[in-house]
Amino acid sequence: MEQLVYKKPDSIRDDFKITFCPGCDHGVAVKLVAEVLDELGVRENTIGIASVGCSVFSYDFFNVDIVEAPHGRSLAVATGVKRSKPDKVVFTYQGDGDLASIGIGETIHAMTRGEKVTAICINNTTYGMTGGQAGPTTLIGQVTTTTTKGRKVEISGYPLKVSEILKEIDGTAFVARVTLDSPQAIMNAKKCIKKAFEAQLKGLGTGFVEILATCPTNWKMTPQEAHARVRGEMSEIFKPGIYKDKVSEAK
Amino acid sequence: MGRIVLNRDKCKACYLCVDACPNKVLEVDKSVNALGYYPIKVNPDKTCIGCAMCARVCPDIAIEKVYR
Amino acid sequence: MKKEKELLKGNYAIAQAAIQAGCQSYFGYPITPQSEIGEYLSEKMPENGRVFVAAESEVAAINMLLGAGSTGVKAMTSSSSCAVALMQEGLSFIAGDEIPCVLVSVMRGGPGLGYIYPSQGDYYQATKGGGNGDYKIVTFAPSSVQECVDLTYKCFYVSQKYRTPVCLLADGMLGQMMEPAVVGEYPYEEIDQSSWALDGAKDREPRYIASIEREQETLRKRVVKIFEKYNQILENENLFEKYEIDGAKLVITAFGSIARIAKAAVKMARKKGLKVGLFRPIMLNPFPEKIVAEIAQKVDGILDIELNCGQMLQDIKASIAGVASIPVEFFGRPAGMMMTVEEIYEQIEIAYKKIVEKKYGTACI
């Protein structure tokens, strides 16, 4: 007897449009969030926050209530939603420009308050939607449309290591950095995303997952080359791993 | 034996699934899809084991279901 | 339930009215001269099982308001001048998203930090806004502590009824002064928000609240719809005060705290036989152009008085353009200095004379 072993998650709309470029890891990340919402059985009780950047069209695929935040303000909007409706599951889906550059203040303070929300950050070392400019996480030497000769420390400083910062904040309950460059990595990422939601469901604090993701279009690489870059130079600077896990400690 | 349900018009031709498939069941189609990409197709001569690796790595949810 | 008159400071009146109105969530960041609102609510909101969050900035506060409002609860923030400036982006989003919420703006002197004295330098900020795109922030301006209460109620009602951000535009004088007022029961019906508010997509299609729209035609229609709403608001919710307008040769236009002082000056002028009246718009945005135009057709001149360099003045002029060719005189004082009744009376005399003798000009002292 034939068994269904995989299907599109219910938390992805039936009439979904994946609005990302070919081979972009965003698609996989979105799917993992949706799978976790399905597995936790919270789809119908969830409010998502769409941020500015490639994730702004979240309502094209997420099959949950969505409110869009101005650039960088997702975690402030999430705070307003969660405090007003504490029984809802609230998550933000943000890029690194949104969460770590323009919104770093909101990020740090929402997590300092220990908001019971989940934040997913796609770190692809560039501003994807606007055409691949240098961002807070752009690696030293990386060529972008605003660092055409490579990012230089003396001009633009260093890449920001978000997970390392956020693990130090008392209000975070789960902090992990994951990749999506292989089926195994994807399964691991899903486990972490699930824990980041459990952190909120158990009332432990903010759950955070930083996903090292590809931007094949702006990196000017094939999706395969882009994954090699994630495994290589990106993982050297941004070390994947679980940085903080109060969820397991609480079990 | 396994089987995938492919929506070829969702495929954006990244071919991450082609690399992920342990049995090399998936290959590039010779005709374009509605999006103008050369999508993947199943090689009928190869055996799908229903591991769903292809579906997991697919960023476009073009592989909608996997059976085993 | 408070029904007795009590001596109340404007800021506390606003805060108490917010509680009475059923404000579920308050987000704010301290700034003089409105800090008492947040102080009061920091204690009372939790006591009433409601939400108080000390935001890390006004930028965060306005976006918390966006989030809270999107769930359909009554939500409020309060701030002042240079800090309301930080909220403009959020207000544009909130207006575009049609999210109900209340912004209390207690004006101080500017530009920049200026100082904490009462001013009306943010008429433009409230009614024209610094956010991008076509939108309006519906604005009500109280001129007494009692109106701080009544208009706070009105702000919540209008915001919820029309799904729009509404601003209560007070100033440092109203915020800080004490006078008797009653914080009575919230007088408006509750407006059901369940048809659009986000509460999880249970047994229904998911909802999204977003300002972004890729289809030009859809976006155009959305903006046009919002503007149709502003027309309805003007038609249904307009508030103003007319004093001694009938038979007046000169009408004083003024809003908020200075309108009270102007009213005293008008009384003084009437006693001395000058045919002077007062028009005080309470709803400043959308601006009651028709009413101003009607008044302008019946009088020989207007003297606009503001605690700024002439902001509402432009709306007055625009209202009467092509309708009445009468002079619009102006007396303004920026940067947080009040005017006395006598000073305004003096300007009324000057303007009255000018209008009779047809010698025009403006003063900004």
What is the span of the domain harbouring residue C142?
6-198+205-237
Mean of the per-residue pLDDT values for chain A? 97
Q: Could you tell me the two tokens for C289?
A: 């152009």
Residue C305, classed as helix, strand or coil, is: strand
> Between A65, A69, A80, which is nearest C206 by CB?
A65
Chain C residue with the nearest C-alpha to that of A41: C202
**C252 in a domain, yes or no?**
yes
Do residues C82 and C231 share a domain? Answer: yes
C292 shares its domain with C185: no
Strand order across the beta sheet in which C208-209 lies: A241-245, A172-179, A206-212, A118-123, A89-95, A46-50, A65-68, C208-209
Q: Do A223 and B15 touch (CB under 8 A)?
A: yes
Positions of chain C with pLDDT lower than 50, given as ranges: 364-365
Nearest CA to A75 among A99, A101, A42?
Answer: A99
Residue C364: predicted pLDDT: 47
> Is residue C215 domain-resident?
yes
pLDDT at A107: 98
Q: What number of C-beta contacts closer than 8 Å exist between A and B? A: 75
Q: Distance (Å, rounded) from C-alpha C86 to C-alpha C222? A: 25
Same domain? C298 vs C257:
yes
Distance, in Å, from the CA atom of A33 to the CA atom of C341, rounded to the nearest integer, reads 65
Task: Tell me which residue in C63, C75, C203 faces A69 most closely, judged by beta carbons.
Answer: C63
Question: What CATH number is attached to the domain comprising C334?
Answer: 3.40.50.920
Rg (CA), chain C: 21
Cis-peptide, bond into residue C111, ω within 30° of zero: yes
Q: Are residues C228 and C259 in the same domain?
A: no
Predicted local confidence at residue C304, as pLDDT: 98
What pLDDT, on the 0 to 100 scale, is given for residue C169? Answer: 98
Burial class (CB in 10 A: 0-12, 13-18, 19+), C301: buried
Residue B54 has pLDDT above 80, yes or no: yes
Same domain, C43 and C174: yes
- What sign for the dihedral angle of Cα C346, C352, C357, C359? positive
Beta strands in A115-220 (DSSP E): 118-123, 172-179, 206-212
Inside any domain, residue C292: yes
Residue C220 neighbours by CB under 8 Å, 6+ apart:
none
User: Are both C76 and C37 inside the same structural domain?
Assistant: yes
Interface predicted TM-score (ipTM): 0.96
Q: What is the pLDDT of residue C129?
A: 86
Q: Where are the domains of chain B?
A: 3-67
Same domain, C24 and C114: yes
Asked whether residue C165 falls in the same domain as residue C301, the answer is: no
Mean pLDDT of A107-113: 98
The enclosing domain of C116 has a CATH number of 3.40.50.970
Q: Which residues pair with C252 in a beta bridge?
A: C278, C303
Domain membership flag for residue C1: no
Radius of gyration of chain A (CA): 17
Among C60, C199, C212, beta carbon nearest to A85: C199
Fold held by B3-67: Alpha-Beta Plaits (3.30.70)
C35, C161: one domain = yes
C152 or A55: whose pLDDT is higher? C152
What per-residue confidence (pLDDT) applies to C3? 73
Share of chain A above pLDDT 90, in %: 97
Contact indicator for C250, C275 with CB cutoff of 8 Å: yes
pLDDT of residue C349: 95
Which residues is C262 bridged to in the sheet?
A: none
Angle, alpha carbons A227-A120-A30 (nearest 5°) = 65
Neighbour count for residue A159 (Cβ, 10 Å) = 23
CA–CA dist A143, A156 (Å, integer): 13
Judged by CB atoms closer than 8 Å, whether chains meet at A18 and B20 is answered as: no
Listed by number, the residues of chain B in 21-60 with a beta carbon closer than 8 Å to a beta carbon of chain A are 37, 50, 52-53, 55-60
CB C41 within 8 A of CB A54: no
Q: Which chains border A (3 or more CB–CB pairs < 8 Å)?
A: B, C
Shared domain for C176 and C138, answered yes or no, is: yes
C230 plus C345 within the same structural domain: no
Domains of chain A: 26-246 (3.40.50.970)
Q: Does A13 touch chain C (CB under 8 A)?
A: yes
The total number of structural domains that make up chain C: 2
In terms of domains, do C233 and C245 share one?
no
CA neighbor of C161 nearest in space, from C104, C236, C68, C219: C236
Position C360 scores a pLDDT of 52
